[in-house]
Structure 1
Amino acid sequence: MISASPVGIVLSWNAVDDAYAYEVRRIDGSGNELIFARTTATTFTDTSVIQDTTYTYAVRALDTSFNRSAFSSPVTATAALRTVTLVMNVTVPAPVEDAIGRSVYITGSLDRLDGGLPHWNPGGVVMTQVSATQ
């Protein structure tokens, strides 16, 4: 597994010699099991996840005659929100008298992040000033 979030769970595995394709098996939190996908790539993103639900995955290889290998060892992931630290450095023009003490704000779809941030409020989140121009 590479990553998990409410947007999707990303899986990756090593290629198998002579493999034509791979089948991805998913078991959801209720124990429902299904062959979820067939792919020729060695990565797969499950975008049909439900937030805060845990899923278990395993992969098996298929050759050109459709002989199947055993499933890989299972991996488990939860489609949960993650806290990510983001540092943005913004350089503003050298201070002039009317700009001293003014704030710089960041906006966007911040409500998708942890912390109760606003959605597209141009004055909602002030950046921390570290110097006269940053």
Structure 2
Amino acid sequence: MILKFIRNLFIGEYENKEENYIEDLQSIPNFKTKEEILNNSSNSNNNTTRKLTKGEILITSVPDLGNLKNITLKKWHIKPGDIVKEGDVICEIETKNHIMEFECLTDGKVLSTSGLIGTLKVGDELCKIEVI
């Protein structure tokens, strides 16, 4: 009974935080989910998923997060030569109110990272991944 109470206490708190994060992110005009990015755009008339081909190089850049300023790259989770899978966290980016984890969009080999830890601008290249 105590275990159930503790689970409800902490899980309920986590769920509320997650909902708040999702609401905050969805309020950003240019925010896109992984599925929307892979589909090229949520407003696109073409609703087919873009297939990445073996050997193609995927460049990950800092997205336009709307009004958010002072975007800082805090931590790398990858380095050149690493093999990554779709969904692996590649880095952590922090704004005034949030820490966001960037996930890899495909299975591949990390060719390069910017190596930068610090302030970022929209469009700055974060890393290059060769699709495998």
TM-score range, shorter chain: under 0.3
Q: Which has the larger radius of gyration?
A: 1
Please state which structure has a larger fraction of its residues in helix: 2
Q: Which has the higher contact order (CA 8 A, sep 6+)?
A: 2
Normalising by structure 2, report the TM-score.
0.25
